[in-house]
Amino acid sequence: MGDDGSIVHGTDVRGPGLAGFRRYTWWTVPGMTACVLVAFVGEWTLDGDVPLWARGPSAAALVVEVVASVVLLSRRLALRPMPDTDDSGPPMGWLIAASAAGVVLAVLPLARHNYGLWPVAPAVVVAIAATYLPPRRRRQLIAYAVVLALLPGGAVALAYGDGGHDLAYAVLFPAGLVALTVWVTLGPLWAWDTARRLDDARRLEAEVAVKDERLRFAADLHDIQGHHLQVIALKSELAARLVERDPARAAAEMKDVQRLAVDALSDTRAVVQGYRRTTLDDEIVNATRVLAAADIDATLNLEPAASATDLTSGLADPARHLLGLVMRESTTNVLRHSQARHAEVDYRVTGGLARLRVSNDGADEHPAGLEGTGLRGLAERLEAAGGELTWNRDGDRFVVEASLPTQRKA
């Protein structure tokens, strides 16, 4: 998030939880696929009972199958979650290589009547292709693959007289293996796509909340400046008409225009610097909404008031404004400089002091944003008002504490 509250594009803003989930998914899908291929097909390739004419091509095909599978599944993890109507396919070169290697790794074991090994590589190819397809076409591919898996083993078993138990095994096991491989592959990828959609929705909701704040500021500026500018325009037009007929009155009107322009400039500066409408009451309400939109659990401890809409009723406007700025800056820092999941806002009046404490977990190791008009600038302003602003980092927790003398309004 930028200094003006905007969302920064072009950088990876995902939290460590999603990055960890991606690593887990990678090891679960591409990593496990490679391990299964190497463990089962590799063991058969190294078996001394397998003739050399089968071991050589099997070893070469195994290398191609493992590399192509890892590349295809890794690229699938890098894709955005696809809608149901997505029509994009996998990189065809790698898919063709995986398919060709899968055929070799199916034909050679099947020729040796190994009914349990031959469907392993084809099942992996079917599962990979299915991950790139939308749901309807994916279901069709899986159904066709399961049905077709019934045929090769059964045909070889019948042709060579492997009846009885071997025939049932040769027919049913390959179909079950294809279904199991697809299920094991698609499950983690579905969870990964769901997590990415939820993360995108959370970031979009946070961005919308920030844009809402911008619109609120624009509305405040319009309300404050609309009257000034309208009157200035009318008086300027009147002075232009009177400049020849009544120069004295025209001069008076222009003095009014000058006064209104000064007032408008003063009000504009007040809005930009936050002197208007920035109060602790409003900022706590806004912070709660923005933090919730960013999927951060915010806990409020407010005393003595029962709600955030009247808790500073006993403070003078300058104090309410300064504490509001502290609340706003603290919320911005939580969003910009942490991977927070929990935040706590504590406000209470004790010993003649209004005390505000904002804390969050997931703080960056070296948080930025403490210079210029950030916390350091606010600390100087609170000190000038007789208060104090401090902040510290303890482990992954960042705490901002502000205090100001209470001044009852007359």
> Looking at residue 340, what is its pLDDT?
83
Residue 353 is which amino acid? Answer: L
pLDDT of 224 reads 59
Per DSSP bridges, beta strands 297-302 and 342-350 are: parallel
Residues 6+ positions from 214 with CB-CB distance below 8 Å: 5
Q: Are both 355 and 307 inside the same structural domain?
A: yes
Distance between CA atoms of residues 304 and 297, nearest Å: 22
Record the pTM.
0.56
Q: Could you tell me the CATH number of the domain that includes residue 304?
A: 3.30.565.10
User: Total structural domains in the chain?
Assistant: 3
Q: What is the DSSP string of 286-330?
A: HHHHHHHHTT-EEEEEE-SSSSTTSTTTTS-HHHHHHHHHHHHHH
Kind plus residue range of the DSSP H or E element containing 342? strand 342-350
Cα(198)–Cα(290) distance, integer angstroms: 17
| Tokens matching residue 115 | 């009914």
Residue 226 lies in a domain: yes
Residues in CB range of 333: below 8 A, 6 or more apart: 367, 369, 374, 375, 398, 400
Mean pLDDT by 10 residues, the chain (410 residues): 38 56 88 92 88 90 95 86 55 93 93 90 94 90 94 87 75 93 92 86 82 71 64 79 85 84 78 64 78 76 60 71 84 79 90 90 68 71 90 89 73
What single letter denotes the amino acid at residue 75?
Answer: R
- Same-domain pairing of 268 and 388: no
- Residues 228 and 193 grouped into a single domain: no
Q: Assess whether 113 and 163 both reside in one domain.
A: yes
pLDDT on residue 274: 58
